[in-house]
Amino acid sequence: MSTLKAVRGTRDLLPPETELWNRVERTAREVFSRYNFGEIRTPIFEDTSLFARGVGEETDIVSKEMYTWEDRARAQSEKAQSLTLRPENTAGVVRAYIEHKLGEAGLLQKLYYIGPQFRRERPQKGRYRQFWQIGAEVIGPTSAGSESPLRDAEVLEMLASFLDELGISGWRLEINSVGSALDRPRYVAALREALAPVKHLMCEDNQRRAETNPLRVLDSKDPNDQELINNLPKIADYLDEDSKAHFAAVLAALDACGVPYHVNPRLVRGLDYYTRTTFEFTHGGLGAQNALLGGGRYDGLSENIGGPKAPGIGFAMGEDRLILTLQAQAEQQATLADYYIAPLAAELNPAALELARELRRKGLRIEVGDGSFRLKKSFEVANKLAKKIILLGEDEASTGVLTVKDFATAEQTKVARAELA
């Protein structure tokens, strides 16, 4: 008899790795509760029409990636119901919001979830058919402030804090606005027009996307098509005044709380419910599937699935990808030196070597730079080789108080030489 294995695209999570999963989930619960979020758990399967109407019939997710089946009717009089394993959780949360009339109290609902999602995608590193998401949604009547750009900025600031607290360094926030439900069709029409004369020059995938879903052309990574894509109209030029002002206010709030971001005019995301703000946090260490998380605003979703007006914004993190990133970082950390000593002038080279000798004798792993390096180069090299850099200038050499920067936390402190070990 052949042995049975976990189905392609699914896997078992075993100890000790599950400890790491628990730490990630614990940190999420702690951080989210500081922002006053409460947990919601929705069913793992829902009526298929929820996703068709919520996520969008034309999206890749709904058109080809869902696990859907006809549930057997229990009685002859009953009709079989089409059910689907949830490919994402936002539609389910909004369905629950409507079903339990959560908007009636007139307050914002701040809900988070942790759980498996299912998509029939081609499995590869960071992409599975059963994967875990940690997500959150802020939704409510307009009178509760659910449309305010402050909500967007608060969610983004929470994500930045969560990733920092978890110890994920090197994330990058990409942000865009896709405008209102009225802006989008105008933009798609402009895209179609601009694509018509050039699409035959593009790869096969993009030729198909240009027909079926022109927005997806913007996502294309095909190197030969990049120049053509960069010359396509930008959605920013199709936003109405309200959407422009909303986006400017989100960015201003991010500036105010010091969350770094990159505006990416090509970020349109693969789900139909998005309006205005869309975003992704990416990480270079993940390879092709580099999105740690994605999200955005969905001001018309509730109405699309038969509910009251209830603007909202949320995100979902790929927990599998958070874990991959943490594991890669831990592996890298294990091969790093404790300190990189950067002498700030050639005359300080001997002092640097002397300090290195002292620290190595205490059992520390030390790299020494060279006084001829420019500061920028010292930082670049140190960042690759060591956990922390010690800057050794005239003052430091004479006073014995050293400037130390920790690359993981980006914190710079003054430390007495004797306390370095």
Provide the binding-site residues for ligand HAM, judged by CB under 6 A. Answer: 88-90, 119, 121, 126-128, 131, 133, 135, 137, 271, 291-296, 298, 314-316, 318, 320-321
Nearer to ligand HAM, 293 or 341 (CB): 293
The answer to whether residues 100 and 27 touch, using CB atoms and an 8 Å cutoff, is: no
Residue nearest to ligand HAM (CB): 318
The nearest distance, CB 383 to ligand HAM, in angstroms, is 25
Nearer to ligand HAM, 181 or 385 (CB): 181
Nearer to ligand HAM, 316 or 326 (CB): 316
Question: Going by DSSP bridges, is the β-strand pair 45-47/81-85 parallel, antiparallel, or unpaired?
Answer: antiparallel
Q: Which helix (H) or strand (E) holds 256?
A: helix 241-256
Rounded CA-CA distance 94/92 in Å is 5
| Residue 361: C-alpha distances to residues 181, 388, 411, 421 (Å) | 66, 18, 26, 10
The answer to whether residues 72 and 80 touch, using CB atoms and an 8 Å cutoff, is: yes
The answer to whether residues 255 and 153 touch, using CB atoms and an 8 Å cutoff, is: no
The nearest distance, CB 81 to ligand HAM, in angstroms, is 23
Q: What is the DSSP letter of 218?
A: G
Nearer to ligand HAM, 126 or 369 (CB): 126
The nearest distance, CB 91 to ligand HAM, in angstroms, is 8
Nearer to ligand HAM, 206 or 277 (CB): 277
Is-cis flag, bond preceding 87, omega within 30? Answer: no
Q: Using the Cα atoms of residue 413, residue 416, residue 420 and residue 421 in order, give the sign of their dihedral.
A: negative
Nearer to ligand HAM, 25 or 71 (CB): 25
Rounded CA-CA distance 243/275 in Å is 9
| Residue 407: C-alpha distances to residues 285, 301, 339, 413 (Å) | 16, 41, 10, 12
The nearest distance, CB 87 to ligand HAM, in angstroms, is 7
Nearer to ligand HAM, 118 or 407 (CB): 118
Residue with tokens 């969905």: 298
The nearest distance, CB 86 to ligand HAM, in angstroms, is 10
Rounded CA-CA distance 116/114 in Å is 7
Nearer to ligand HAM, 307 or 318 (CB): 318
The nearest distance, CB 168 to ligand HAM, in angstroms, is 13
The nearest distance, CB 293 to ligand HAM, in angstroms, is 5
Is-cis flag, bond preceding 223, omega within 30? Answer: no
The nearest distance, CB 410 to ligand HAM, in angstroms, is 24
Q: Using the Cα atoms of residue 41, residue 44, residue 45 and residue 47 in order, give the sign of their dihedral.
A: positive
The answer to whether residues 99 and 105 touch, using CB atoms and an 8 Å cutoff, is: no
The nearest distance, CB 26 to ligand HAM, in angstroms, is 19
Terminal C-alpha separation, the chain: 59
Nearer to ligand HAM, 292 or 390 (CB): 292
Nearer to ligand HAM, 319 or 396 (CB): 319
Distance of CA 371 to the CA centre of its chain: 39
The nearest distance, CB 315 to ligand HAM, in angstroms, is 5
Taking Cα atoms as reference points, which of 43, 52, 147 lies closest to residue 85? 43
